[in-house]
Structures are given as structure tokens and as C-alpha cells.
A and B are shown apart, each in its own frame.
Chain A
Amino acid sequence: MTDLDPSAVRLTSLVEACHARLAGQLRARERFFALSVGLSGLCGLLVLGTRYVPVPMALLVVCLGAWAAWQRVHKHLPDRYSVAQLADLRAGLADALSTAYHFRNAPRGERNGVIRFQREAAEHASRGASPEQLFPAVPQFTRRVAAWLVGAALVLAAVRVAVQENVTFEPPLPSILLAAIFGSTPPVAGQPSTQPAALVDPANDTSLPADEPPAPRAEPGQDTEPPRLADEQDHAQTAAAEEPPEVEGLIPIPLDEEAGANGAEDTQAGSDGQQGPSDDGEQAMLPPPDGEWDEQAQSLLDKLKQAFENMLQTLDMASIDSSEADSSAEPGSGSSDQPSAADASAESQASELDPAGQSADASMEGGEPGAEAGESASAGATTGEDTDGQTSGGENASAAGSSDGDKTLAEARQLEAFGALEELYMERAENIVGEVTIETTLAEQSASVPYTHTDVPSSEGSGVVTRDEVPAAYRTYVRNYFEALREDSR
């Protein structure tokens, strides 16, 4: 027996090279994983804005991704013996390399000759194998994910830059897009909006009938919003006319330029009986002097707004103006005296401009309580239940509400809850298929079903009983089986 070469340079160098290559691949994969996590946080920030994803939270996501990648590298990085096994498996060496690597430092003894021969055989067999062949570079999934996320982040950033005039990351991207669609800029904290608000152009309003009653007037002596003066209305209309209308029948009006002046002037107009929305300097919407609205177009606009609000609520995002409008509608103050949906739109804009909702309060308080109860169907559609004449039964005037379509089912469930099951049964009797179990009260009730004639064919059957012999080899198992059955039955 000859002594072993204690260095085993060739074997060790091959295993070391394979280990280094595998570790490099693993580290690269985990780097892309960390990058993907960080990009996910960036995309979340770009979509939801810093309002919902603050910068510290995004940084925390990045740090968590880096930490997870570091943990995964240390968890999945195999030792050199395992790398040798993997190389054996990939090169078809039948565990020669790993066995030689394990016994490379074996103490001298009787098996020295065997170990030396085995190592030589392993090195000879692995002579043609290289780390690049054993561990080739494979396309990594995390790299593709990172590339996709980079593209998504760029697209989201481009959308924000394209939509916003003053690029900010505070508002969520859906609200920015909604505002862009409806011609208004999403509110920015501490920054007054310069985007025009949507108004109905009374000059283009041809759908309003001639006998449409005039806008409600405030009662003398009440704290109502003053209507606009004629010159200011003209100024507003002129300014609005300079802006191209984004929607047919809508005229955008700059808000912050007139907001301060309109506050006092609306008060004067209110004393004259002119009814109109008020604002406290940041009010966005102003009614035209004539007070006539295109109800049909406004109804469509309201439905669109309601649909988008429902979508945002489904996405668990705050609605644009529902909470502000609800908070501004004070009970008992005649909150239904704002007849037009444009007012609701104005409230929406105002509520976003003023987080405290003061402007909306001012507009609602400026109206005469209970004066125009019958004319508020359209306005009631935006809030759902603030109309005096339409609050019974919780029905919405709009057909695009969130509770549409399930009224019958809801009523049926209420009846079911009250024990009136026969009505539920009668409503559903036409659709009953298969077996039905009806739970009723103790009172005598009857149920009837249509007669169905059913023919069941029958035939004579016969069988032959044969005694099946249990093979001798299975008798023990059969006996044990039935004994176990008897024990279970006991």
C-alpha cells in the first residue's frame, strides 16, 4: 500500500471551482430576488402614492428584501461535499467524486490503497468535466421578474409624470387618473389646485325644459350663501369659455382665482334669494346664474362618478367625496336643498381641497332647509339617502349604485329571517330542482309540487353464490381483519 497524496489538489480544486460557481449563481439569483422585492415596493409606492405607502415603509420593504436574500443565500448554499454529490449526479460519475472528496483526509490505514485508487479513478472520470459544464448558467426566474418590475416602475413613473403637472408622489395613481379623466387635479396637501372644475354650461343646456322651476331661493334672514354677482358670473363664464370643455356641457373654471371673491359675493346673493353653492375660498363648483342644469347629462355624470366610487371602495380606497359629503350633510338643516349634481361635484372638489370639509358645510348650511324637498332626487343619488322624499326603503335614485340588483334577494332574506318562509318558498318555487327541505314554523302549512309520472323498469335478477376459499397464506390476515372489525364494532 502506498501513502496517499495528502493534498489531493486536483480533486479539491475541481470541487472548489464547482462550489464557487454554484455560490455565484445562487448569490446572483438572490440579488435579483432582493431587487425584485425592492422594485415591488417602488411600484406599490408609485401606484398608491406616499399617502398609503410612506417612504419609510417602502424603504422597509427594500431592507426586508435584502435581508431575506441574505438569509436565503446562507440557507441554500450547499457545502462542498454536497456540491461534489451534485457534480456526481450531473456528470454521471456514480458518486465517485463525492466519495473521493469525503475520504481525501482519511487517516492512513489498511484502506489507503483503495482510497488512492478510488481517488485516481474519480479524478480520471471527472477529467473532462468542468464547472461550466456541470453548473451551466441558466436563465433565472428572479432576473425576469426584476426586469418586468423595472419596466412596470418606469411605466408607472412615466404615467405620473405625464398626468401630473407638478409631479408628486403623494396621491394614489388611480385618483390621479380619475381626476385627469374628469378634468380636475387631485388634491395635494398644502398645494391649491389650479385645475378647472367641471361645470354645466347653462348656455349649452338645451335639455332643460322651459317650465323648469327656478333654482331654490334662500329664505330671507337665514344664513345662506349669497349668489354670484352678475359681473362675476360673466367673468367666470368668460374664464370658463377660454378653457376647452372636456365634456360636452361642462365648462371648467379656475377655482382658486375666484374662490376668495366668491365667498363674500355668494353671501350677498344668498340674501337676494339666489340659491347656489357656497365655498370658503377653495370652493370649486359654482352654479350658473340661471340655475338650470342639464339633468340628463348630469345624471349620467353622477352614475359614472358613482361607478368609479364603487370601484375605489372595492379597491379599499377612500372615495373621492362620499365621506366629505356625508359629513357636510347636517341633520335637520335641510341638506337636500342642493338640487344639482354639479353641486355634488363641487362638494367633491371642495372636500378634496379642504380636508376639514368646511366649504361643503358652508354650502349646505347656506340653503333653505326643507324648501326644495321634492327636487333633490338627482342630488340624492350621489349620497344615497340625503333626499327627504326618497329615503324610505333605502332605495337609490341612481341605477348604478352598489346595492342595485339585490333588492329582491335582500327582501327575501329579511322575510326568511322573520320566519315567513312560505313567501320565500313561493318566490323560489319555480326554480326548485331536486330534493328540497323546507323549514317552517309550528303553524300548519302546506306545500304542493307538480305531479311527475315516473316509470321505473324492473327485471328479475338471479345470482350464484360461490364459496370463495381463502388461500392458506392469507388466512391469518383474514382472521386478523375480522377480529379487528369485531373489536371496532364492540
Chain B
Amino acid sequence: MPVKDPAAMSANEQIALVRTQVHSVVVGHESVVNGVLNALLAGGHVLLEGVPGLGKTTLLKTLGRALHLDYSRIQFTPDLMPADILGSLVMDTTDTGAKSLRFERGPIFTHLLLADEINRATPRTQSALLEAMQEKTVTSGTTTYSLEEPFLVMATQNPLEMEGTYPLPEAQLDRFLLKLLVEYPEREELTAIVERTAEAEAPQISAVLDRGQILGLRRAAGRVLVAPHVRDYAISLVLATQPRPGRPNALARRYVRYGSSPRGAQALVLCGRVRALMHGRLHVSIEDIRALALPALRHRIILNFDAHADSRSEDDILLEILDQIAVPA
């Protein structure tokens, strides 16, 4: 057993406490819950892909309650305008009849934002949201408003009903730190879901962390040590996804149209630090990098037609790359 570091183990215990609270409502989806918490503590955003009805909204709502954070939800539709997200100037009339413009904040001014079916909005609206995600500021007229930390956007995509949708461009997909796949629950999990639905009272969620503690966890994650060989391993993974000539990555040259950007390596290291903290370690291991390779890189590589013709998915390519990239030493 490793030595109990008060700071580290406190962080570990705090994160475990949040997980326990979330799992009192959300059945299963262990990897999704860990991924969302990881993105929250790493300061990024997460893209979820799954069919409707798998508990994505419930997950984020429960997380907001457990963390004592504000929560908003936006259902993206083709007629959704940027002002509907960011806010707009409205005219106020005082009792004396004087009129003034006032910025009415949109639903983006929150801590946890669920952008449901983001691919149904127009690119203009998507860009407005993604700009706010990257800069964490909203500009209206000549005034810039900062979004309060922590700020997490959990966008969802429905892989079905692609007609009339606007798939996110690659440049905007790169803004998401992780892409998580929400799978169907197993039989036991489905049984638990049905039983909980039949219960008369919904489980009570208590706030186990507050905003200050979450920011403290973020700072602790930033101090987690990353050894050079672990960092080099993350870089090797990212380079292996790039179909550049002159490198021994035949798999990428065959199936990958565009490889991961440097943001992929940043995401691996950032999320690796949080994962190490979750496991009670103060250093990142190669196992952390390998565990995060799929959610951190699957949306950063664009496959070519040959991959689609051969029914190869991004995960298939990444798993093969993980097999090819040898562990140092």
C-alpha cells in the first residue's frame, strides 16, 4: 500500500465520494462518469455519443447536484440562434420611461452545460458555443463577459437520424477534451434501472463538494508529476496517428486521413494527471496514458474512405496503434 498522502488521498477520497453520489442515481456507465469527472477536473469539455435514453441528461444533472454547481440544458435545433445560447441585449424601461440596453445572459452562463444533440444546430450556432468553450468568454457588442470556473460543456451527438444534421467540423471536434461513447446497459444494470424507476421516491443527492474544492482539485492535478518516458509515450501515440511519410506508421498512412493534433498529446497528459490523482498517485504512469488514448484521440483522427470501406473504426485503429507502440523499457 502506498503512503497516504493527505493531499493526494484527500483528493482521491473526494473524487470517490462524488462518484458514489452519482452512481446512486446513474446505473452503470462507469467509464462515462469517470470521463466526465476527468474532463471537469482537467478543465476541458466532453462530447458524448449515444442513442437517446441512456441517461446522459440524468448524469449531468446528478453531477451538478453532487458538486453544488449550476446546471443548464440546451436542446439544439436547426432554428436555434447564437443569441439563444449566449444571451442578448434587451431594452429595459424604467418607471420614469427611460430606456436602456441590458445584457440578458443566456444559458451558457452556468457551470455545467448540457448541449443536447449539438449536431442539429446550424454551424453558426455551433461556432458560437464552441468559441465560448475555448475562450471561456462571451462577447456581446463591445462587452466581454467571462464564464465562471468550473465550466464544463457536455455535448451529445445522436448517431442515428443523420438527415438534416450538421456534423461538427474536425476543427471544432478538436475543442473537446474527451469523446465518450455511451453504450447500452448490461442486463444487471438494466434490472437496477427498472427497479429504481419503480421506486416511489427518487434517491437523494447531497452536495459533497463545492466550487472551491473542485478548483483545489484542479490545482492538485496540475502538480502531478509526469516522467519523461511517460510524456514521450504520449507523444509517440499521437505521432503514430499522423499519416506523414517517412515514419513507420503504415497503419495510419493506410486508414487515416488526418491524424491527431498536438491537442491530443496535451489531452493525454492533462487527463493522465487527473486519472493518476483519482487512483491515489502523484505521478502519471504509462497505464494512464493507454487508458485514456481512446477517449482522448478517437475524435481527433479522421479516417479515409478505405477505413470506411474496410469497416474500420477509429477505435480499431487506435487499438492497433496501442499494440504497435511498445511500452518503454
Interface residues, chain A, with chain B CB atoms under 8 Å away: 78, 81-82, 85-86, 88-89, 94-96, 98-100, 102-103, 110-111, 113-115, 117-118, 120-121, 124-125, 471-474, 477-478, 480-481
**Given A95-B227, A102-B227; A117-B329 close (CB under 8 Å):** no
B285: which of A95, A121, A474 is its contact (CB, 8 Å)?
Answer: A95
A95, B284: Cβ atoms closer than 8 Å: yes
Contacts of A94 in B (CB 8 A): 281, 285, 287
Question: Which one of B1-9, B67-75, B210-218 contacts A?
Answer: B1-9
**Given A85-B328, A478-B305; A117-B227 close (CB under 8 Å):** no
Among residues of B, the one whose C-beta sits closest to the C-beta of A125 is B2
Given A94-B285, A125-B2, A480-B305, 12 extra CB contacts under 8 A: A89-B327, A94-B281, A95-B284, A96-B281, A102-B228, A114-B225, A115-B225, A117-B8, A118-B282, A120-B3, A471-B162, A477-B308
B308, A99: Cβ atoms closer than 8 Å: no
Contacts of A82 in B (CB 8 A): 328-329
**Given A85-B229, A114-B223, A473-B167; A95-B283 close (CB under 8 Å):** yes
Max chain B C-beta neighbours (<10 A), residue from A111, A120, A477, A481: A477
Task: Enumerate 30 A-B pairs (CB-CB under 8 Å) in ascending A order.
Answer: A78-B329, A82-B328, A86-B329, A88-B329, A89-B329, A94-B287, A95-B227, A95-B229, A95-B284, A95-B285, A96-B283, A98-B227, A98-B229, A99-B283, A100-B283, A102-B227, A103-B227, A111-B225, A114-B282, A117-B5, A117-B8, A118-B281, A118-B283, A121-B282, A124-B2, A125-B2, A472-B162, A473-B167, A477-B305, A477-B308
Contacts of A113 in B (CB 8 A): 7
B261 within 8 A of A: no
Max chain B C-beta neighbours (<10 A), residue from A100, A114, A481: A114
Q: How far is the CA of A350 from the CA of B185 in the complex (A)?
A: 94
Contacts of B286 in A (CB 8 A): 95
In whole Å, how far is A94's beta carbon from the nearest beta carbon of chain B?
Answer: 4
Among residues of B, the one whose C-beta sits closest to the C-beta of A86 is B329
B310 within 8 A of A: no
In whole Å, how far is A69's beta carbon from the nearest beta carbon of chain B?
Answer: 23
In whole Å, how far is A221's beta carbon from the nearest beta carbon of chain B?
Answer: 85
**Given A114-B282, A121-B281, A121-B282; A474-B225 close (CB under 8 Å):** no
A110, B228: Cβ atoms closer than 8 Å: no
Q: How far is the CA of A113 from the CA of B224 in the complex (A)?
A: 11
Total number of A-B contacts with CB less than 8 angstroms? 80
Contacts of A478 in B (CB 8 A): 305
Contacts of A474 in B (CB 8 A): 308
A117, B282: Cβ atoms closer than 8 Å: yes
B163 within 8 A of A: yes
B285, A103: Cβ atoms closer than 8 Å: no
Q: Which 8 A-B pairs have the closest CB atoms?
A: A85-B329, A94-B285, A99-B283, A95-B285, A99-B227, A477-B305, A121-B2, A118-B282
Contact with A along B294-316 (1 / 0, CB 8 A): 00000000001100100000000
B230 within 8 A of A: yes
Q: How far is the CA of A85 from the CA of B8 in the complex (A)?
A: 23
Q: How far is the CA of A258 from the CA of B226 in the complex (A)?
A: 91
Contacts of B3 in A (CB 8 A): 117, 120-121, 124
B223, A118: Cβ atoms closer than 8 Å: no
Q: How far is the CA of A85 from the CA of B229 in the complex (A)?
A: 9
In whole Å, how far is A44's beta carbon from the nearest beta carbon of chain B?
Answer: 38
In whole Å, how far is B206's beta carbon from the nearest beta carbon of chain A?
Answer: 30
A110, B223: Cβ atoms closer than 8 Å: yes
Q: How far is the CA of A86 from the CA of B8 in the complex (A)?
A: 26
Q: How far is the CA of A121 from the CA of B1 in the complex (A)?
A: 8
Q: How far is the CA of A114 from the CA of B8 in the complex (A)?
A: 9
Contacts of B8 in A (CB 8 A): 117
In whole Å, how far is B5's beta carbon from the nearest beta carbon of chain A?
Answer: 4
